Amino acid sequence: MAKKTDPKWKLDTLCVHSGEGTDTDSKAIRRPIHMANSYELPTDVEEIMQVLDWNNLDKFNYTREHSVTPRHLEERLALLEGGEDCIVAASGMGAISAVLWTLLNSGDHVVASEVCYTGSQKLLGFHFKRFGVDVSLVDSMDIEEVKAAVRPDTKVVFIETPGNPIVSISDIEEIAKISHKVGAILVVDSTWSGLTTQKPLTLGADIVIHSATKYINGHGDALAGAIIGEKALLKEIREAAIVHLGACISPFNAWLVMRGSATLPLRMKKHSENALKVAKFLESHEKVNTVRYPGLRSHPQHDLAKKQMSGFSGMVNFNLKCELMENFEFVSRLKIITHAVSLGHDQSLIFFLPTVFFFDDMVGFNDAQKEKYTNIMGEGIYRLSIGIEDADDLIDDLAQALNEVP
Same domain as 334, residue 305:
yes
pLDDT in tens, 234-245: 999 998 888 888
Q: Is the pLDDT of residue 1 over 70?
A: no
Q: Is residue 3 part of a domain?
A: no
Distance between start and end Cα atoms, the chain: 62
Q: Are 150 and 182 in contact (CB under 8 A)?
A: yes
Give the mean model confidence (pLDDT) for residues 298-312. 97
Q: Is residue 1 part of a domain?
A: no
Same domain as 105, residue 39:
yes
Same domain as 282, residue 245:
no
CA angle 322, 314, 406 (to 5 degrees): 15
Q: What single string gives the DSSP state of each residue in 245-314?
A: T--BPPHHHHHHHHHHHTTHHHHHHHHHHHHHHHHHHHHH-TTEEEEE-TTSTTSTTHHHHHHHBSS--S
Q: Is residue 273 part of a domain?
A: yes
Residue after which a domain boundary falls, among 213, 237, 261:
261
CA 28/CA 320 separation, integer angstroms: 53
Which strands, in side-by-side order, build the sheet including 338-339?
Answer: 288-292, 315-320, 380-385, 349-354, 338-339
Q: Give the pLDDT score at 156.
A: 98
What CATH number is given to the structural domain containing 28?
A: 3.40.640.10
Q: Are 83 and 230 in contact (CB under 8 A)?
A: yes
Q: Is residue 111 part of a domain?
A: yes
Lowest average pLDDT, out of 30-39, 211-220, 381-390, goes to 30-39
Q: Is residue 175 part of a domain?
A: yes
Same domain as 93, residue 66:
yes
Q: Is residue 2 part of a domain?
A: no
pLDDT in tens, 95-154: 999 999 999 999 999 999 999 999 999 999 889 989 999 999 999 999 999 999 999 999
Q: Is residue 300 part of a domain?
A: yes
Residues 6+ apart with CB under 8 A from 289: 318, 319, 320, 321, 378
Q: Is residue 5 part of a domain?
A: no
Same domain as 225, residue 285:
no
Q: Give the pLDDT score at 243.
A: 86
Q: Give the pLDDT score at 51.
A: 77
Same domain as 233, residue 211:
yes
Containing H/E element for 187?
strand 185-189
Same domain as 176, residue 147:
yes
How many domains, in total, are found in the chain? Answer: 2
Q: Give the pLDDT score at 52.
A: 77
Question: Where in the sequence is the domain holding 339, given as residue range(s)?
Answer: 264-403
User: Mean pLDDT, the chain, as a whole number?
Assistant: 94
Same domain as 254, residue 275:
no
Q: Is the pLDDT of residue 21 over 90?
A: no
If 0-12 CB within 10 Å is exposed, 13-18 middle and 19+ buried, where does residue 80 land? buried
What CATH number is given to the structural domain containing 297?
A: 3.90.1150.10
Same domain as 287, residue 352:
yes
Same domain as 200, residue 72:
yes
Task: Please name every residue paired with 235 in a beta bridge, in sequence order, or none if there are none.
Answer: none
Taking the CA atoms of 166, 172, 177 and 181 in sequence, report the sign of the dihedral they define.
positive
Confidence of residue 363 (pLDDT cuts 50, 70, 90): confident
Same domain as 269, residue 250:
no
Same domain as 248, residue 273:
no
Confidence of residue 22 (pLDDT cuts 50, 70, 90): confident
Q: Is the pLDDT of residue 266 over 80?
A: yes
Residue after which a domain boundary falls, among 243, 261, 279:
261
Q: Give the pLDDT score at 45.
A: 85
Residue after which a domain boundary falls, among 261, 278, 293:
261
pLDDT in tens, 25-54: 888 888 889 998 898 888 888 888 887 777
Q: Percentage of the chain surpassing pLDDT 90?
A: 77
